Chain A
Amino acid sequence: MALWMETGSEPKTETEIADLEAISALKESTALELKEKGNELVKKVKKHYPEAIHCYSRAIDQKALNDHDTSVLFSNRAHVNLLLGNYRRALSDSQDAIKLFPANVKAYYRAAKACLSLNLLAEAKSYCESGVGKDPSNEELKKLAKQIDLKKLEQEQREAQVSKALVEAKDLVSAIEDRRLKLGNAMYRELTGLRKPVLDKNGILHWPVLLLYAEFMSSDFIEDFCETDMFSAHLDIMFSESCPPLPWDKENHYSRDAIELYYEAGSGICLSKSKILRYLLEGTAAANVESIGEEEKDAADGSPYDSSAGSYKWVKVNEKRTLHDVLNEPNFIIPMIPVFYVVSKRSGFYKDFITGKWRPPA
């Protein structure tokens, strides 16, 4: 029988063997003492936990205990790490415990708990199941399994919501692209808020439309303007006989027959698909998704219309046209939500507006 011996070492004498055995026994009892001390410390308040960990670590370092007992040490240290919120270390300790003694049920429990806190749901489930395999009647493990399932379900539901929001927004971008509409930066966000166009089940777009009464800097919304509707239909309803006159319209200039609608011609640059997608995702479940598909550079619409030089370019809307036809005009760059300016033929303000002397406040 050959013994590994360090080079240069002599075969041991009887005294040396006795000494080695004594040291080994000492280490063993030290380890056990440290373990007891650790256990005691854990029962106290939180501030003692780090010291408990230290005890367990020193006990482990003695390397004096058998696999079963060392496994318990790791698993105890895992427990304290869990209490301290050191989930990664708790997981690593539990794994070491399991390696040394695969029947250590507590280790599985603690591993599962650590994984749950780290949001590693699949691994958590796996440890739970292994643990239940070793101890089928363990209630705590079963409870933990239910917790994990619940969290998984919540995660899946969230992902489904994000996915749905993303798909809806992409369909919208597609619909806008098919119609060759030009979209620019949103204007009047303080008024439009998070309003967005909507695609109905027939693939028809419905737009929220902002109406601005230039003369009084007052605003109104048509919340659901279907693209196949004519302007006249909506105006008929808004300015019908039975509707009260607008509060600031003291001289009743803004009657059905006197109002005219205008949009601003070609101001700003056209946004790229990805920019439009980002806008449409705002306020939805998918607002924070990092990658949304192909990123393209902004397509510049020739040179952006310089709105500071010279007079404003207003284009009159023919009431008997559909929203779609007007939005499709080549010089209309829709500021995300279509904006139309309402003026009255009968008001003194009309001349200033038409001749381009008035412009919207910056």
Chain B
Amino acid sequence: MATELEELIGFLSAPSPPVKKAAVDIVRDLTGSEDGLHSLSNYANTVLPSFSRLLSDDKEVSEPAAEALVNLSQNAGLAAKMVEMGLIKIAMDMLYKPGSSITRLLVMLLVNLTQLDDGISSLLQIGDDKMQGLYVMKLVRSFCRSSETSDDPFDHVGSILVNISKKEEGRKMLLDPKRGLLKQIIRQFDSSSLLRKKGVSGTIRNCCFEAENQLQNLLLISEFLWPALLLPVAGNKIYGEQDTSKMPLELGSALSIDREPVKDPEIRVQALEAIYLIALQEAGRRALWSVNGPRILQVGYEDEEDPKVMEAYKQIGSLLVHGSETEEPSTTTSK
């Protein structure tokens, strides 16, 4: 004897569109509550495939289906099942179908799915020699382009990048100079969307954990990296000629004018943590000195009031004081 819920789930595959639509809406509403989620998780093996099929349906069905999946994916067990089912591939395929109206929802789904290791591996397409990294490249490109559109459906991609950069393979892929992904991502730091800023900031910080082995891949994009890392922690003052003359152009000119402070303390902490990781390496310290970084940190610290951020400043401070040899570039000349 089928329960009401089982019947309802059955209707998700009903041939009659209004019946299907009604069922989808009801089940979607269920996913919005704890109890509903709990009950549905018992039927994961039928519900999940049904919903994933519905993603390719018309907007009135695919939207609630996508919403439901996003809600369901907040549960780790269900998320794992979804990854196992190949939902990442399905989502990526749907994302780039022309006329797709569930873009933002699908991106949010991917954010949840990449909370899991398996989800990350699946998105990175590890093990698929030919296609490896294709999904990530597409997402990064969309991330960068959609900021110019009015609704910005890809703004959550930043969070996906933060997730994948938690894994070494993800960091390696982002840092790979041949793909040039990190360079594209860093440029998004200027965006006014806090979500984007946080995504970029968190991703850079995670990638800096590779500083020990891949410092060159970080430092060689220093033209973009230093402004993204140092501007948020440069304080509010306008810098004088004496300081900016020792900085590269973009950094120097940005600090010579009035600027919007970065209000979110988490972003400032992440920037400082990233700088710390780079400064742990000798060449990283040298590069930081060469752009007059320590001076910027000194001035920025004076304006800082958040205790967590102040801690982060101090951590770098002691590293720079105790960090070995000469900070001046060594120049020996011979004729």
Chain A residues with CB under 8 A of B331: 222-225, 234, 237-238
The listed residue (A203, A219, A223, A322) touching B223 by CB distance below 8 A is A322
Stretch of B10-18, B22-30, B62-70, B281-289 that contacts chain A = B281-289
Number of interface residues of A (CB under 8 A): 34
The CA of A180 and the CA of B177, in the complex, are separated in Å by 9
Q: Are the C-beta atoms of A202 and B284 separated by less than 8 Å?
A: yes
The listed residue (A218, A228, A238, A318) touching B290 by CB distance below 8 A is A228
The CA of A320 and the CA of B214, in the complex, are separated in Å by 25
Residue A20 is within 8 A (CB to CB) of chain B in the complex: no
A259 to chain B, nearest CB (A): 14
Chain A residue nearest in CB terms to B219: A228
Interface residues of A in 290-338 (CB under 8 A from B): 318, 320-322, 324-325
In the complex where A202-B282, A226-B286, A233-B329 touch, is A322 in contact with B222 (Cβ < 8 A)? yes
The listed residue (A203, A227, A228) touching B214 by CB distance below 8 A is A203
Residue A251 is within 8 A (CB to CB) of chain B in the complex: no
Chain B residues with CB under 8 A of A321: 223, 248-249
The listed residue (B214, B220, B246, B283) touching A200 by CB distance below 8 A is B283
Chain B residue nearest in CB terms to A201: B282
Interface residues of A in 67-116 (CB under 8 A from B): none
Chain B residues with CB under 8 A of A237: 328-329, 331
Q: Are the C-beta atoms of B290 and A233 separated by less than 8 Å?
A: yes
**B: interface residue count bin:** 20 to 34
The CA of A233 and the CA of B223, in the complex, are separated in Å by 16
> Chain A binding site: helix, strand, loop or mixed by DSSP?
mixed
Residue B33 is within 8 A (CB to CB) of chain A in the complex: no
Residue A198 is within 8 A (CB to CB) of chain B in the complex: no
Residue B193 is within 8 A (CB to CB) of chain A in the complex: no
Residue A156 is within 8 A (CB to CB) of chain B in the complex: no
A140 to chain B, nearest CB (A): 54
Chain A residue nearest in CB terms to B244: A320
A236-249: CB near B (< 8 Å → 1, else 0) gives: 01100000000000
A171-206: CB near B (< 8 Å → 1, else 0) gives: 000010011100000000000000000001111110
B187 to chain A, nearest CB (A): 16
Chain A residues with CB under 8 A of B334: 220-221, 223
The listed residue (A203, A223, A228) touching B332 by CB distance below 8 A is A223
**Besides A205-B216, A229-B329, 4 other CB < 8 A contacts?**
A203-B214, A203-B283, A220-B333, A220-B334
Q: Name A residues whose Cβ lies closer than 8 Å to a Cβ of B.
A: 175, 178-180, 200-205, 218-230, 232-234, 237-238, 318, 320-322, 324-325
22 contacts between A and B (CB under 8 A): A201-B282, A202-B215, A202-B281, A202-B282, A203-B216, A204-B215, A204-B219, A220-B333, A220-B335, A225-B329, A228-B286, A228-B287, A229-B329, A230-B248, A233-B246, A234-B331, A320-B247, A320-B249, A321-B223, A321-B249, A322-B248, A322-B290
